[in-house]
A and B are shown apart, each in its own frame.
Chain A
Amino acid sequence: MELSIIFLPLIASIISGFFGKFIGDRNSEILTSVLVSISALLSIHVFYQVIVNQYEENIVIATWISSGSLDVNWSMLIDPLSAVMLVVVTSISALVHIYSIGYMSDDPHKPRFMAYLSLFTFAMLMLVTSDNFIQLFFGWEGVGLCSYFLIGFWFKKESANAAAIKAFVVNRVGDFGFALGIFLIFYLFGTVNYSEVFQEIPTVVNKNLSFLGFDVKAIDLVCLLLFVGAMGKSAQILLHTWLPDAMEGPTPVSALIHAATMVTAGVFLVVRCSPIYEYSLLILNFITIVGMTTAFFAATVALVQTDIKKIIAYSTCSQLGYMFFAAGVGAYNVAMFHLFTHAFFKALLFLGSGSVIHAFKDEQNINNMGGVWKKLPYTYALMIIGTLALTGFPFLSGFYSKDAIIEFAYLRGNTVGYYAAGIGIITAFLTSIYSWRLIFKTFHGEYNNKVINIDETHESPLVMLVPLFILSLGAVFAGYLFKGLFIGYGDNLFWAESIKFLEPLSTEHPPLWFLLLTPCLVLLSIPIAYYLFVKNKELPFAIASMNKPLYNFLVHKWYFDELYDVLFIKSSKKLGLFLWKFCDGTIIDGFGPDGISSFIKKCSIKAIKFQSGFIYQYAFVMLLGFSALLTFLIVK
């Protein structure tokens, strides 16, 4: 039964992908949705079993690679951690499948789209249920591939193709680190299975490696390399550039892959490897710093973007930053909690924005929207719920998880922790501002679209609204209901062995003013945003024109793309051209085959001259030789 959770999506994908033409569009949509929904129900059952009966199992499906001492199986590991991921992945995926039936109704390639979605689900499940690092890597690259397919789904769009390649290649940069991490693990432990590696950790804690003349702690290096992989997949700063571009894909894809599931794989990796990370304080601090920098960076950029999906994409980037700094301060369970709640409200926001885009007939610029909240009442209400949950409005799901992150950062009690808590609060405020900006600009104010009439905008069909409604339930209640289970202070029975805490998490409570600070800021931000973006619309422009350089800096996303273009893309193209034309062409061929053959030719042209055919020349040479010989003999 457990295996069918993984394989039902695969079967759905194969049938829809290869036989979609024969069974028809509608049938492939229904088939994939039904199979993935069954998988979701089974996952919920497994999750329930894990909660109630502490059910754990490691199913070996088949051997994959066995070379020398390397033994890798296809396997399915069920423990609390993977059970949580199973629920998140399959349930969001099922809802997105259903939603897509409505959203993609005008697309000519529906079976292909559904096949990709299901294939993605399969790869993601392989990722989360692996019991070793190599199957994890399989899933890791597999989801990257599906993301590549889906970003470039509209293959005629030049920008979509470019974004797809960018996503794959930037992820490969992360995978480069991840793969090296796996090699290092195999080198240190001689195995890549979690259970064996985690058992052996204490034996290598004090081991040092010398790398390029530096002496580094082996465990730090392992943690760093694995984290580089996580940074790529979870779009952390430096390797984040692919995520906003990935919004070229259809919106359901953004909701499933680029908000709820795939991008959280990096967080999952760090949490899964908590038994290793616990021994590397250095890298944990590094993760905290990267996480909070990303959270802050992405929030500032989101403030000034005008593409509805890009704003949410940066918001995702920012929230992933929160998850990482939770993990970095050692609160892995809180990171998982935020991952869990975030999946609901972010998928809700994305699908909601998809509904808006659908209504405006593929318009994505929020400056060309406005004033439609009466026309799209359900979408509007659901988007408000998503926004409230995201910003951490009291008693909605984001409130529990995000505030817990900030609290734990504070309780960590070291400099990095305080710093992270401070940034966390500021970012929470920024998050609230940009989220409300999106809502106000989209739904309130005047109607700004010049292409289509306001009466043409319409509410989405039921098949799109129902998934939104279910997600909104999650966005409202997930935090309240699961708080005790995920982060119940003191007695963390649920996670059992799947998360390791070297020292138990602090059970104290931060001071009351600190607890109230974030919710107050969040509440305060709503009237501020309303004033800025509805009441007094000139003010934001005035602020922007007063701080032109800062504004440009934000609009250009801190100039990362421009920098990378010069640093990596242009330079490697130039280098390639140089190596080809100059090294291969001029040097190697010039001095090698072409050079030698032309040299021999020249020599032979010279040598030809000796055979002139004139007797007197030959006689003269003979005479010269003869006299030289004579001279030599006489002198001797």
Chain B
Amino acid sequence: MNFPILSSLILLPTIGALFLFFTKNKEGNNLTAKYVALFTSVVNFLISIYLWVFFDQSTSSFQFIEDRKWIEGFINYKVGVDGISILFIILTTFITPLCIISVNNSVKNRLRDFLIAILIMESFMIGVFCALDLVVFYLFFEAGLIPMFLIIGIWGGERRVYSAFKFFLYTLLGSVLMLVAIISIYWITGTTDVVQLYDIGIDVKYQNLLWLAFFSSFAVKTPMWPVHTWLPDAHVEAPTAGSVLLAAILLKMAGYGFIRFSLGLFPVASEVFTPLIYILSVIAIIFTSLIALMQEDMKKLIAYSSVAHMGFVTLGIFTLQQQGIEGSIIQMISHGLVSAALFLTVGVVYDRMHSRLISTYGGLVSVIPKYSILFMLFALASLGLPGTSGFIGEFLILMGAFKDNFLVAVIASIGVILGAAYMLWLYKRVVFGKLINEDLKKILDLNRSEYFILSCLAVPILFFGFYPDPLINTIEVSVTDLINMHNTNIAGK
């Protein structure tokens, strides 16, 4: 590979951020700053599409690899993509520009700094998804916390400081153990290169502890029950664009981590701890769905539904079935689109009414029909209606889970019923019914940029619901090989 395409994907947003950093921070510059940020992220999106076009779907080995010495004999800066990671990169580069377009209404002060935070965040997220060295991965993984922490802490709502610290403490505590585990891996094997580690494997006697250490970090970030309570708080306080990034991309790092590292590096331990994951996932699906039913705050409701959806993801990954893992990846992509869309739809009415409470609304359909139609579509995608991307993911996951364990699939399927209940009830209370609140009569329908953003999300949700082949073909070979590798490892030990 001659041209360092992945590095440019990682670096470009940072360059954009630096450029913004050195411009004067004046009120009048806000619009220019937005254009700069938007330009950067759109170019990045185009590069990632180029990457996808030239990506070879027929092999599971890493492509576009770059390998540079960083610290002699210890860490190499190594990046590359396979079928699993490339979709997450595209998701990141796709969501970021939409976030940038959406900020004009929600962020009033220090817009330039906000854009810098988003761009830096994009860099780190792309870094996470293409890092092929454990230390590099760890750096990106943890660094991603910082911009998010700032976004919540500076531009958040009333309890932003509490939420920001809760978010930071939870995620950092989990990650410390992962750092220890990475260092141990270096001691045990003498390398932190993921590709090499796949080949040489890690001694079975160390796997359980190492798996748990990685798990503690990923579980918090997913988030899995019972370490999920930071998520609703973080979402409620974060500004819309922050919530979108958090739900759409940040949560996916952990799911990706489970596939790439927990399954890939510790196959034996993964088998050992599958029951643990199943139990926690099923609890997450049922408990948080029930909790979502009772929420009075729209953002909190969607946050809890995210926990339930990520419960499906973790469940699917550890089924170790083709359908399960592919379903999980599709579910993550789909959830990235759907939850982003849902947070944006909440943001739209929040910008106008400054309330996230469900009871403020009711009867919106008679004043803002366009909004109501799109909201309906996203609600349906969230509850997994066939014909939307949400269905493909959920259905494949449950199908895979059923092959592996009846009972788990049966209980998890109850979540599908609850999902319909809380989502439709939310929709009914917000959109249907009589228009009682007088203030709502003046509310305006989607403006052009909002309409554009939400349509951009609606199109892939529907497209992949009817034709998920592009996604499945991209991941198919990588997932098959992952499972084969896993099975030979298990058989060998």
A residues sitting closer than 8 Å to B (CB atoms) are: 62-70, 134, 137-138, 141-142, 145, 148, 152, 155-156, 158, 161-162, 164-165, 168-169, 172-173, 175-176, 179-180, 182-184, 186-187, 209, 211-212, 572-573, 575-577, 579-580, 583-584, 588-589, 592-593, 597
Contact = CB atoms under 8 A, between A and B. Distances in A.
Contacts of B413: 176, 179-180
A161 B386 contact: no
Given A576-B294, A593-B169, A68 B420 contact: no
Contacts of A593: 166, 169-170, 229-230
Contacts of A69: 322
A519 B466 CA distance: 51
B392 A183 contact: no
A382 to B, nearest CB: 35
Given A161-B428, A161-B433, A212-B407, A65 B402 contact: no
Report the 5 A-B pairs with minimum CB-CB distance, sorted nearest first.
A68-B322, A183-B402, A576-B290, A138-B386, A576-B294
B456 interface: no
Contact of B428 (A165, A577, A589): A165
Contact of B386 (A67, A141, A592): A141
B159 interface: no
Nearest to A569: B421
Contacts of A211: 406-407
B480 A580 contact: no
A588 B170 CA distance: 12
27 contacts: A63-B469, A65-B396, A67-B396, A68-B322, A70-B323, A141-B385, A145-B380, A155-B366, A155-B432, A162-B428, A164-B428, A169-B424, A175-B416, A176-B414, A176-B417, A183-B399, A183-B403, A183-B409, A187-B402, A209-B406, A572-B293, A576-B290, A576-B294, A579-B291, A583-B287, A584-B291, A588-B229
A575 B322 contact: no
Contacts of B468: 64-65
Contacts of A173: 417
B424 A168 contact: yes
Contacts of B291: 576, 579-580, 584
A68 B480 contact: yes
A155 B433 contact: yes
B398 interface: yes
A577 B229 contact: no
Contacts of B407: 211-212
A159 to B, nearest CB: 11
A588 B418 CA distance: 23
B198 interface: no
A211 B410 CA distance: 11
Contact of B322 (A67, A576, A597): A67
B365 A155 contact: yes
A226 B431 CA distance: 34
Given A187-B403, A588-B226, A179 B433 contact: no
B480 to A, nearest CB: 7
B239 interface: no
Contacts of A65: 392, 396, 468, 472
A266 to B, nearest CB: 17
B458 to A, nearest CB: 13
B300 to A, nearest CB: 9
Contacts of A580: 291, 294-295
Contacts of B170: 593
A209 B409 CA distance: 15
Interface of B: 166, 169-170, 226-227, 229-230, 287, 290-295, 321-323, 326-327, 363, 365-366, 380, 385-387, 392, 395-396, 398-399, 402-403, 406-407, 409-410, 413-414, 416-418, 420-421, 424-425, 428, 431-434, 466-469, 472, 476, 480
B229 A142 contact: no
Contacts of B323: 67-68, 70
Contacts of B414: 176
Contacts of A584: 229, 291
B420 A172 contact: yes
Between B323, B326, B420, B466, the greatest number of chain A beta carbons within 10 A of the residue's beta carbon is seen for B420
A125 B407 CA distance: 34
Contacts of B424: 148, 164-165, 168-169
A184 B402 contact: yes
A584 B425 CA distance: 22
B402 A70 contact: no
B294 A577 contact: yes
Between B166, B380, B432, the greatest number of chain A beta carbons within 10 A of the residue's beta carbon is seen for B432
A579 to B, nearest CB: 5
Contact of A67 (B327, B380, B402): B327
Contacts of A187: 402-403
A180 B469 CA distance: 24
A179 B384 CA distance: 12
A325 to B, nearest CB: 27
Given A179-B413, A593-B170, 14 more contacts: A67-B322, A70-B399, A134-B386, A145-B385, A155-B433, A164-B424, A164-B428, A175-B416, A572-B293, A573-B293, A580-B295, A583-B287, A589-B229, A592-B226
A180 B226 CA distance: 27
Contacts of A575: 290
B472 A67 contact: yes
Given A67-B322, A145-B380, A579 B433 contact: no
Contacts of A62: 467
B166 A576 contact: no
A152 B432 contact: yes
Contacts of A67: 322-323, 326-327, 396, 472, 476
Contacts of B420: 168-169, 172
Contacts of A179: 395, 398, 413, 416
Given A70-B323, A211-B406, A579 B290 contact: yes
Contacts of B416: 172, 175-176, 179
Contacts of B399: 70, 182-183, 186
Nearest to A152: B432
Nearest to A584: B229
A142 B386 contact: yes
Nearest to B401: A183
A579 B287 contact: yes
A579 B425 CA distance: 19
Contacts of A209: 406
B387 A573 contact: no
Contacts of A68: 321-323, 326, 476, 480
A184 B401 CA distance: 11
Between B169, B421, B434, the greatest number of chain A beta carbons within 10 A of the residue's beta carbon is seen for B421
A161 B392 CA distance: 28
A155 B428 CA distance: 9
B391 to A, nearest CB: 8
Contacts of B395: 134, 179
B166 A180 contact: no
A121 B170 CA distance: 51
Contacts of B294: 573, 576-577, 580
B417 A172 contact: yes
Nearest to B290: A576
Contacts of A152: 428, 432
Contacts of A572: 290, 293, 418
A613 B234 CA distance: 41
Nearest to B396: A67
Contacts of A66: 469, 472
A63 B467 CA distance: 8
Between A63, A161, A175, A580, the greatest number of chain B beta carbons within 10 A of the residue's beta carbon is seen for A580
A137 to B, nearest CB: 6
Between B406, B466, B468, the greatest number of chain A beta carbons within 10 A of the residue's beta carbon is seen for B406
A323 B424 CA distance: 32
Contacts of A579: 287, 290-291
A75 to B, nearest CB: 14
A447 to B, nearest CB: 34
A38 B438 CA distance: 47
